[in-house]
Structure 1
Amino acid sequence: MAEFDEVQLDAEFAAYRTALLPAIAPDGPASVRQTVRRRRRRTAVAVAAALVVAVAVPVAGEAGLRRNPGPPATSTTASPTPSESPSPTPSASPSPAAPDGRIERAELLAATVDLPSWDDLPDRPDGKQCHSRGIRLSGDPVGDDANLLVELAYGDVDRDGATETVVLVRCLFGTRGPAQVVAFDRDAAGRVVTLGRVAATADPTPEWLIGLQVRAADGVIRVAMADRAPGVGWPLEQSQRQWRGYRWDGERFRQVEGPTSFGPNPYAADVSVSSSNLALSREPGDSFAGTIQVRVRNASAGEVPNAVLSFGLPWQLRPFGDGWERCRENMLEARAPYQCTLGRLAPHADIRLNLQLRRGQGMPLASGKATIELLVSAADGGSLMERDRNDNFATITHYYG
């Protein structure tokens, strides 16, 4: 390799410097100061931003705690997640469904249930003969069991989204014994429980519960009832009937529809008769006479079209005096058995009669007993039904005083 001459190298470097140095402008003092100021501003901005973040984070955290304290914080070690997507928020668990209270007839007859006490029924002392705790309902209409299951219906009566069972139960089947409508449900364990009484018979009305239904739209229980119970001499067609609706209010069933009472039944009556005894005192000659005080009452709220007093007196006793003027017949000319037609009895009428009787001369009569009967009839002549006819008779004693 040829060696370079030192003189020649110096000449080459000199030419290089001559060509390049004019193109290079070195930084002067002003340029240096501008660069330093720019760097200082960047540093100040960065420091201020860091301070803002340091102050804002605790404040924001405190404000968040004031809005929703939430559960106490627990220290956990975060496990790695397969992706950067946030974890889904768990949804609130739904409330447990209400137990299904639909109880089929066979299951209900096999269950031991509690009924609302028969003793609680208003003015129905016959209910004391019926048991209500730990009993089995009867499905045999000709059996001797007291609590007869008459009818069932189903519906959501307490509006909890599940079905309940409503039953009509009658006590002392074959009589005019009491009846009640009862709602049954199930508890969380599936046991049959009593929700409550819906309706019941009462005195004086209703004497009879006919049937029931549950309206699906609003859970109202509708009960068909009659003012008078059917029986011997009283067909159900002569009873006044009506529907009443009942709704559960969270504690008990309350009536929300239908009438609350019955009007007077044109085929029913509640009348009575009573009388004092007859003390016969001697009059001039061989005759004896005395007075009885007879009381006739209409305890019903309806009118009795026709009322007649029938006197089962010995033939030796004959009426006399002004007391008999209330009778439509001329009692002074009538013969035994005597009948006094009173006619119309107004609602709650209370009539008192002072009636004189005389034993004629030469007509021997020993002391004894006699009867007075009160007979009532409808406007068309048909008989009126009474729950108790024992008080339609009065027994008097005639004697010599």
Structure 2
Amino acid sequence: MSNRPTLQFPAPSGHPVRSSRRAWRTAAVALLSTLVLLLPIVMYLLLHDGDRETPAPGDAAPTPATATSPPSTTRPPAGAPNGRISLTTLGNSTVEIPAWPADNLQGPSGRVHFRDGAVQIPQTGTAPAHRPPKGMELVILAVTYGDVDRDGADETVAEIGCLTEGGSKQIVAFDRNAAGRIVTMGRVVATTGEIRDIDTGSTRIGTSGTVTTRVGDYQVCCGDETPQVWQHRGYRWQGARFHQVAGPTRMTANPALTETSVAAGSIVLGPVVDGYRYGTLTVTVRHGWGTRPANLAIEFFPGSGLERAGSSWPPVTTPPTSPGFVVAVAPPPARGTASHTFAVRRPATVTGRTLELEVYGTTAASVRLAESNPWNNGVTVPIRAVD
């Protein structure tokens, strides 16, 4: 029921997401060093948040805090639980975290225990190619308060990040039940689809219970100067979940940004003919949103020994720093698809099970467009031989 400033943690990584998958791998080592330096600062702020309250049974008792956001002076009505949970209490509790979107960085969900506002995520092996990897840390980035279910008492709305120098974010509403335990009402909004970033600290709750936050179409990182489109969108608790009730429902086209995805069938190589096996590969590219590329490139990484066959291939270039080669093809129509078929061959003595390829779009001036979702513009193609 207030428009007070959001209480906010500094993000431990200090940076938003990189615009390519390869950049994430490079950033991970630097991030670990940064976290060590920032941990004392984060712990200090956690212990000095701006809300005092009487903890419910089982909650960590909040430390006396500097009043950066004044506590509520209105008692909740009889029968309505007080869902105003301090940053310190929430950051040292076990809470239910909604599942993370499949098209962004992955993190733990379900019952998760936070300590000092964070959860370290175990790193087990390497993420599969062309799939969103695991984050390194789950962090409560900010909280704000207001009566989102209009029962006369405040609830707590928190921004939670699954981060590796940026990453997935979601806004989640928490309340207390009649026994005083913290319960999760539901997710307000998350970074999925056309929403790729949430402006930390931007969330406000109006007197009508509408949760308003600022969402963006791209996350920048590490010197990336790609322009972003930002929108304010409002969400309200209706029935058993949050629904959007205000603001745009689609992102305005960003001239520096596109969203392309790629799919491909398997390559079936036939019987040996003059020392080679021959086959074809069909690649389908989809334009999802953002600017439609003026030109489209498909980059092949033929580590399996595949070669181009026939004379119908489009123009081919070989980047000086790439182990593969690039072909230029016509882009799909806006929010549509286009398919391209390529003839290939492989020496009968060579074996290999996969081919990697990636797609990207450029402007008419051959400037490469940033990808809104960096996890779906590549594919691993299976290869098999038949006689």
Matched, 1:221 2:197: no
State the percentage of identical aligned residues. Answer: 21
Cα 1:99/1:242, change in 2 over 3 Å: same
Task: Give secondary structure in 1 for the equivalent of 2:90.
Answer: helix
Is the CA contact 1:319–1:358 (under 8 Å) kept in the aligned structure 2?
A: no
Query: 1:292 aligns to what?
Result: 279
Query: 1:353 aligns to what?
Result: 341
Answer 1 or 2: which has greater strand percent. Answer: 2
Q: In structure 1, what is the Cα distance between the partners aligned to 2:150 and 2:209?
A: 7
| C-alpha deviation, 1:243, in angstroms | 2.3
Matched, 1:118 2:102: no
Amino acid in structure 1 at the alignment position of 2:327? C
Matched, 1:376 2:325: no
Is the CA contact 1:270–1:387 (under 8 Å) kept in the aligned structure 2?
A: no
Offset from partner CA, 1:325-358 (integer Å, 9 cap, x none) = xx2479xxxxx98653214233442424252669
Q: Which structure 1 residue ranges, 5 or more long, are not aligned?
A: 1-94, 331-335, 360-364
Q: In structure 1, what is the Cα distance between the partners aligned to 2:156 and 2:306?
A: 68
Candidates 126, 130, 150, aligned match of 2:109: 130
Larger Rg: 1
Amino acid in structure 1 at the alignment position of 2:117? G
Query: 2:40 aligns to what?
Result: none
Is the CA contact 1:274–1:294 (under 8 Å) kept in the aligned structure 2?
A: yes
Candidates 241, 254, 259, aligned match of 2:248: 259
Offset from partner CA, 1:218-239 (integer Å, 9 cap, x none) = 3321122334555689x59555
Query: 1:182 aligns to what?
Result: 172
Is the CA contact 1:295–1:352 (under 8 Å) kept in the aligned structure 2?
A: yes
| C-alpha deviation, 1:183, in angstroms | 2.8
Q: In structure 1, what is the Cα distance between the partners aligned to 2:368 and 2:238?
A: 45
| C-alpha deviation, 1:319, in angstroms | 4.2
Task: Give secondary structure in 1 for the equivalent of 2:163.
Answer: coil
Answer 1 or 2: which has greater helix percent. Answer: 1
Cα 1:307/1:255, change in 2 over 3 Å: closer
Matched, 1:102 2:76: no
Q: In structure 2, what is the Cα distance between the partners aligned to 1:214 and 1:222?
A: 5
| C-alpha deviation, 1:245, in angstroms | 0.8
Cα 1:193/1:275, change in 2 over 3 Å: closer
Candidates 327, 333, 338, aligned match of 1:340: 327
| C-alpha deviation, 1:242, in angstroms | 2.5
Query: 1:27 aligns to what?
Result: none
| C-alpha deviation, 1:301, in angstroms | 1.9
Is the CA contact 1:118–1:127 (under 8 Å) kept in the aligned structure 2?
A: no
Cα 1:280/1:268, change in 2 over 3 Å: same
Q: In structure 2, what is the Cα distance between the partners aligned to 1:187 and 1:372?
A: 51
Cα 1:297/1:263, change in 2 over 3 Å: farther
Structural mapping, 1:100-249, within 5 Å: 100-110=82-92, 112-115=93-96, 117-119=97-99, 123=102, 129-132=108-111, 135-136=113-114, 138-140=116-118, 147-170=138-161, 172-174=162-164, 178-186=168-176, 191-194=180-183, 196-201=185-190, 203-211=192-200, 212-228=202-218, 235=224, 237-238=226-227, 240-249=229-238
Is the CA contact 1:108–1:137 (under 8 Å) kept in the aligned structure 2?
A: no
| C-alpha deviation, 1:137, in angstroms | 5.7
Task: Give secondary structure in 1 for the equivalent of 2:288.
Answer: coil
Is the CA contact 1:310–1:337 (under 8 Å) kept in the aligned structure 2?
A: yes
Is the CA contact 1:264–1:300 (under 8 Å) kept in the aligned structure 2?
A: no
Is the CA contact 1:137–1:148 (under 8 Å) kept in the aligned structure 2?
A: no
Cα 1:177/1:337, change in 2 over 3 Å: closer
Cα 1:188/1:273, change in 2 over 3 Å: closer
Give the number of aligned pairs.
Answer: 282
| C-alpha deviation, 1:153, in angstroms | 1.1
Task: Give secondary structure in 2 for the equivalent of 1:106.
Answer: helix
Amino acid in structure 2 at the alignment position of 1:102? R
Is the CA contact 1:275–1:292 (under 8 Å) kept in the aligned structure 2?
A: no
Q: In structure 1, what is the Cα distance between the partners aligned to 2:346 and 2:140?
A: 60
| C-alpha deviation, 1:148, in angstroms | 2.0
Cα 1:395/1:308, change in 2 over 3 Å: farther
Cα 1:176/1:274, change in 2 over 3 Å: farther
| C-alpha deviation, 1:166, in angstroms | 1.8
Q: Which structure 2 residue ranges, 5 or more long, are not aligned?
A: 1-76, 123-135, 318-322
Is the CA contact 1:118–1:132 (under 8 Å) kept in the aligned structure 2?
A: no
Q: In structure 1, what is the Cα distance between the partners aligned to 2:238 and 2:150?
A: 10
Task: Give secondary structure in 2 for the equivalent of 1:270.
Answer: strand
Query: 1:8 aligns to what?
Result: none
Amino acid in structure 2 at the alignment position of 1:340? V
TM-score (norm 1): 0.53
